[in-house]
Structure 1
């Protein structure tokens, strides 16, 4: 039953079940307590998928589902949409001049990975244990406050307080590069200046960390020959996405859609 918040979705006379839109809402970002926003985003996504499937079937497109991961295959609908887009969207590799022009816009974008020298103090806990997590957080916050007032004493503080084996080295973890630690830890490193200590403890699967970035060596700018293939692939993907959006826009303009924002004039 249609409502102002959850209207029926009808694409070229085909009524889409509410259950399909409801399932899609879990993939859409929306503010807490604003289900109507998630529903509208989901309705747009489902409307586009429906349009593509209608077009594929009208053209009698056939497709065999491909393996997309170990033991995981496309659904029949995913295979149909892929095959349709492969037929409709044609891309060509960018020219050498185009690739070089993209690199010249800002060669500093293309660098070798950075290296960080890092020390930390760990207050270990299982994040799934609420009581243990709160206790570890309180400890870590107190340690972070002490470290902020005495950065030079960080190693001694780590030796006394850390639950990590690195305490024997004053909390020093040595040099780390991208991928050497868990994502939450690495993300915090990218926000710190040399000598800076995290203002708030960082939670990972191991517990709360108070982190100090001891030194940072930014990766050197890579020469064009090293990054040429990477740039060419990125340009080709961008061009493909642009053409795919143009194709979908043409389908929308030629369609009658009710219950989705993309169908509005």
Structure 2
């Protein structure tokens, strides 16, 4: 079970004495079942700490199941290729996911016809408000919404989009008025491809997209200048692709649940993995 980290108070126990403060100010060390994930003076990002925690959970489980030898160190060891291979063998044995059948594949195909089109492309221009480290995201969104509102207004001059792109966009395309040329789903960040090509409203038409598009790069104002519909693929042409995608999703979900199971059974200090005790999906 997870428990909050605590610092033992030592010294004279006088609240006004500096000896107590010197101990209380020591940074907490994250541990899993008593094994430290980092040293007190080691700078580590939250993402790196979480990655290290998940790796240590798997290592300890591999030791418990006999795939790896026990480590005498009080610190989480760095895994070599042989150890990682052993963990992969353990996961292959314990995380079993069924292969999707043809019924499941056909159901997915019929539910997402927009994803199975060959040769589709859009002529797009955009204005990027980049979400760089330290940027005021609220102020960024306000500027982006203000520009979008202007471009969606009535009687907007034809060259206004290009002007705003040159003034506001953080993309190199700003020197071309934001013009990205003809793009396919493979040319886009996944979030942008999903919005422009794979949503049910993706065929909303030409002109300025009525809402901001959020991607890992920031906020985009999008205008579609041209569209090539492409050819709808037959189920038989994409059956193997769909089966691989559904199998990947199923395994990823099972792995997430397995990690929650391990986290829920572990004693965690100084880190929250949101672990719950739940059975692995069979």
TM-score, scaled to structure 1: 0.52
Shift of residue 232, structure 1, vs aligned partner: 0.8
Instruction: State the alpha-carbon separation in 2 of the partners of residues 159 and 239 from structure 1.
Output: 44
Q: Aligned match of 2:239 in 213, 228, 245?
A: 228
Instruction: State the alpha-carbon separation in 2 of the partners of residues 173 and 249 from structure 1.
Output: 42
Instruction: State the alpha-carbon separation in 1 of the partners of residues 30 and 187 from structure 2.
Output: 49
> Counterpart of 1:19?
38
Matches within 5 A, 1:86-165: 86-91=92-97, 93-104=99-110, 106-112=111-117, 114-119=120-125, 145=150, 148-151=153-156, 153-154=157-158, 156=159
Q: Aligned match of 2:224 in 198, 213, 221?
A: 213
Q: Structure 1 pair 82/111, CA: closer, same or farther in 2 (3 Å)?
A: same
State the Cα RMSD in Å.
5.6
1:110-152 per-position Cα deviation (integer Å, ceiling 9, x unaligned): 33264223356x89xxx99x9xxxxxxx9xx88984784534x
> Counterpart of 2:23?
none
Query: Do 1:188 and 1:198's aligned partners in 2 also have CA atoms closer than 8 Å?
Result: no
> Counterpart of 1:3?
6
Instruction: State the alpha-carbon separation in 2 of the partners of residues 187 and 112 from structure 1.
Output: 13
Matched residue of 1:213: which SS?
Answer: strand
Q: Structure 1 pair 148/185, CA: closer, same or farther in 2 (3 Å)?
A: farther
Write 1 or 2 for the structure with the bigger share of helix.
1
Q: Structure 1 pair 78/26, CA: closer, same or farther in 2 (3 Å)?
A: farther
Query: Do 1:144 and 1:198's aligned partners in 2 also have CA atoms closer than 8 Å?
Result: no
Q: Aligned match of 1:178 in 162, 165, 185?
A: 185
Asked whether 1:241 is paired with 2:252, we answer: yes
1:230-265 per-position Cα deviation (integer Å, ceiling 9, x unaligned): 111123223333544565566567x45243552789
1:36-55 per-position Cα deviation (integer Å, ceiling 9, x unaligned): xxx8xx49x72x54332122
> Counterpart of 1:57?
63
> Counterpart of 1:67?
none
Query: Do 2:30 and 2:268's aligned partners in 1 also have CA atoms closer than 8 Å?
Result: yes
Matched residue of 1:262: which SS?
Answer: coil
Shift of residue 85, structure 1, vs aligned partner: 0.6
Matched residue of 2:185: which SS?
Answer: coil
TM-score, scaled to structure 2: 0.50
Q: Structure 1 pair 175/59, CA: closer, same or farther in 2 (3 Å)?
A: closer
Matched residue of 2:122: which SS?
Answer: strand
Instruction: State the alpha-carbon separation in 1 of the partners of residues 162 and 106 from structure 2.
Output: 51
1:41-71 per-position Cα deviation (integer Å, ceiling 9, x unaligned): x49x72x5433212212344269xxxxxxxx
Matched residue of 2:207: which SS?
Answer: coil
Shift of residue 6, structure 1, vs aligned partner: 5.7
Query: Do 1:53 and 1:80's aligned partners in 2 also have CA atoms closer than 8 Å?
Result: no
